[in-house]
Structure 1
Amino acid sequence: MSKQKKIIKNSLFPVSVFAIYLGVLFLMSGIHQGLVVLMNKMAWNGFIQTMVPMVYWGCVAVGLTLFARRKMKNTYEEPLHRLAEATEKVANGDFSVYVPTVHAADRLDYLDVMILDFNKMVEELGSVETLKTDFVSNVSHEMKTPIAVIKNYAQLLKNGTVTEEEKLEYTREIEEAAGRLSTLISNILRLNKLENQRIDPEIETYDLCGQLEECILQYEELWDEKELDLEVELEERTFVRADKELMGVVWNNLLSNAAKFTEPGGKVTICQTAEDGYVKVSVSDTGCGMTKESVRHIFDKFYQGDTSHSKEGNGLGLALVRRILILMDGEITVASEEGKGSTFTVRLPVQDHNAEYIAEYAEVSRNWNETGGN
């Protein structure tokens, strides 16, 4: 930033303009003196000697005015007119406008910086508009699918010829579709609240390892159903300061994705370590993995790299995970190789040097020791 300030001119009229005016006035004064000497030598009458300097300085004033007018037009008026026209287009919904700067990149002034910021703002608005359009389109599509399933199976149930077995199957399909629709709406509302800062995280000190164990046990039936080899490496306990409920959303999404994308008989590994003031949790699987393109977009809303599992989700889970971790001052990274599996790694800060945290941590540790870990 300091480097940028050095190359940005604070004034639209540099010292060179003063030098030009000074040089011109010196030159014009010299010419004026020459005219006076010439008129005296030629003994012109008084009227002519009065009118010639007036006409002369009138021409000088016109020239300087035209120069200043041209300078102001190139420096102020034309860029501001272009900016005004571009602003009107943006107000009418055209986000493809671009306003060129007045000077080159190495000679920028504050008007150029304003134009660059305007271009960046328009670009961001265009991206937001595109995301909004895609979001509405994706939401409509995602809602349409379970609604169509519910409608079709409801019509089949109205048919009196269906067997009891078919009724149970159709009812189960309707229930699953309704569940997907409910999850979709819940995730949309939750993500919208997170993105618009309408959720105030309830930060508390709690045992992360205990939370991970609870989340892992929730998927015990799924591990057994797919005969997955589960490997868990956790410390005895690690305390973090975060919103416990929101972090539960993070772990449940990562664990469910690992189970979903791992073929029966595969392996899922959960590893937790603490280092350099951070706690690191990685969830690895031996599933289908992702392409480099999928890795780049995996945290985008509604993006689903593996469409074969699209009916099991709605592409909002990882977008929720990333947004939650931003609120917790954490981060998430992914390493994946197509056909070999993926590893999602979460980093959360555990060090907080304020007195309140130290006292709270000491109290938790003391209670733990007094109760013997119960």
Structure 2
Amino acid sequence: MNRRISADTLIMTVAIGACVLFLAATAFFGKRDFFTFLCYGFGIVMILMILAVHRVFRKAFIGFSDKVCTQVEELTKGNFQEPGPEEDTLTSKIEMKLDKLSDVIHSSLSTQEFQKQEIQQMVSDISHQLKTPIANITMYSSMLDSGNFSKEQRKQFAQVIENQVKKLEFLVDSLMKMSRLETSLIHLEVKPARIFDTLFQALSQAGAKAEQKEIELECSCDEDLMVLHDAKWTQEALFNILDNAVKYTPEGCRISVSTEAWEMFTKIDISDTGIGIAKEHYEDIFKRFYREGKVHLEEGVGIGLYLSRQIITRQGGYIKVSSKEGEGTTFSVFLPNVFEKKKN
């Protein structure tokens, strides 16, 4: 078996060889006087010093190598050690680099673990949301097959199944939008456009439900106001907020929409006179599938406001909410203004 000689061993061998040659030359050419014996002594001392230095250096090097190997092995196992005190030595510098590598790996693993938990939570949420309509469809379909019900009852069961199918269709459509937004499969075309047109489309979508509840929709917006936004997806975001407002506002009340151009953003206020939101739930309402306890009897899956925030945030905007329970809620949507380039 061929064994490679390490660099330190090779250097030590050459150094000792040189000392031996020096001693041999001294013995062959030198006279037997004090100077010759002094050279003998010097040569022997040099050999001993070389052996001692090699031993100390090799011991330190092996210890350092073992330490580095141990740290790397711990990294591969996912065990991350706290960084030691900083020292101005080669060993400490290499250790610091390993500590930085450890931090990077730890951060990467933490991100992967978080994403894994997010996916698991999403799958769990989706399964939970799909379970109810599917169970209802299965149950009422079985009841229709039994044949022990009147024509009127069968008609009611068929209506329930139809409603559950619509709910399932809406849920799947919402989940598709959510998935595409979260995975950045949707490309938002953010460009200057009239916000009045976008608001008009969103209000038109919400108009039918509002009319059923005799809710008055008011809008105050400059028709020529230009705002940076993706018209299609911003319409979706605004409609989700308006739909919630209509859903939780009593019959015969009012919902108002207004715009105000600020220096950097344009603010769109959507105000209702509905049931209101507790202050401690301001952030919760934007979470995926969150629904406050007092609204569980209303239709919905708790994904509309989550989608709205995702859409607005991806356009460089943001959403704020202010509310008083029993009096109403105002959602403020902020979108970037259009800035004209100055001509030289």
TM-score, scaled relative to structure 2: 0.75
Match of 2:273 among 286, 306, 310: 286
Partner of 1:66: 59
Letter matched to residue 207 of structure 1: R
Partner of 2:175: 188
Partner of 1:348: 335
Which segments of 5 or more consecutive residues in structure 1 lack a partner in the other structure? 1-39, 87-97, 359-374
Say which SS state the counterpart of residue 289 (structure 2) adopts.
coil
Aligned length: 305
CA 1:354/1:149 → structure 2, altered by over 3 Å: closer, same or farther?
Answer: farther
Partner of 2:72: 80
Letter matched to residue 102 of structure 1: P
Say which SS state the counterpart of residue 198 (structure 2) adopts.
helix
How big is each residue's C-alpha offset from its partner over 1:55-111, in whole Å with a ceiling of 9 and x where there is no partner? 23321232233334434544x33332211121xxxxxxxxxxx51242369999443
1:116: Cα distance to partner? 1.9
Partner of 2:25: none
1:135 and 2:127 equivalent? no
CA 1:110/1:311 → structure 2, altered by over 3 Å: closer, same or farther?
Answer: farther
Contact 2:226/2:338, CA 8 A, preserved across alignment: no
Name the CA distance, whole Å, in 1 between partners of 2:50 and 2:69: 28
Name the CA distance, whole Å, in 1 between partners of 2:86 and 2:210: 58
Aligned residues: percent identity?
25
Name the CA distance, whole Å, in 1 between partners of 2:214 and 2:85: 64
CA 1:165/1:296 → structure 2, altered by over 3 Å: closer, same or farther?
Answer: same
How big is each residue's C-alpha offset from its partner over 1:113-144, in whole Å with a ceiling of 9 and x where there is no partner? 33222222222212111111111111111111
Name the CA distance, whole Å, in 2 between partners of 1:225 and 1:319: 26
Name the CA distance, whole Å, in 1 between partners of 2:314 and 2:42: 82
Partner of 1:271: 258
- Which range moved further: 304-313 or 314-323? 304-313
Letter matched to residue 199 of structure 1: I
Letter matched to residue 109 of structure 2: V
Contact 1:216/1:255, CA 8 A, preserved across alignment: yes
Name the CA distance, whole Å, in 2 between partners of 1:260 and 1:85: 53
- Which range moved further: 220-229 or 133-142? 220-229
Match of 1:152 among 139, 149, 158: 139
Which segments of 5 or more consecutive residues in structure 2 lack a partner in the other structure? 1-32
1:227: Cα distance to partner? 4.1
Match of 2:233 among 239, 246, 265: 246
Name the CA distance, whole Å, in 2 between partners of 1:73 and 1:269: 71
Letter matched to residue 69 of structure 2: E
How big is each residue's C-alpha offset from its partner over 1:181-215, in whole Å with a ceiling of 9 and x where there is no partner? 11111122222222222222344543211331332
RMSD of aligned alpha carbons: 3.3
Partner of 2:205: 218
1:48: Cα distance to partner? 5.5
1:121 and 2:108 equivalent? yes
Partner of 1:100: 81
- Which range moved further: 121-130 or 289-298? 289-298
Contact 1:261/1:288, CA 8 A, preserved across alignment: yes
Say which SS state the counterpart of residue 219 (structure 2) adopts.
strand
Name the CA distance, whole Å, in 1 between partners of 2:97 and 2:275: 52
Contact 1:101/1:116, CA 8 A, preserved across alignment: no
CA 1:73/1:268 → structure 2, altered by over 3 Å: closer, same or farther?
Answer: farther
1:305 and 2:272 equivalent? no
Say which SS state the counterpart of residue 286 (structure 2) adopts.
coil
Contact 2:270/2:330, CA 8 A, preserved across alignment: yes
Contact 2:226/2:337, CA 8 A, preserved across alignment: yes
CA 1:53/1:105 → structure 2, altered by over 3 Å: closer, same or farther?
Answer: closer
Say which SS state the counterpart of residue 233 (structure 2) adopts.
helix
1:257: Cα distance to partner? 1.0
Letter matched to residue 322 of structure 2: A
TM-score, scaled relative to structure 1: 0.70
Name the CA distance, whole Å, in 2 between partners of 1:349 and 1:62: 70
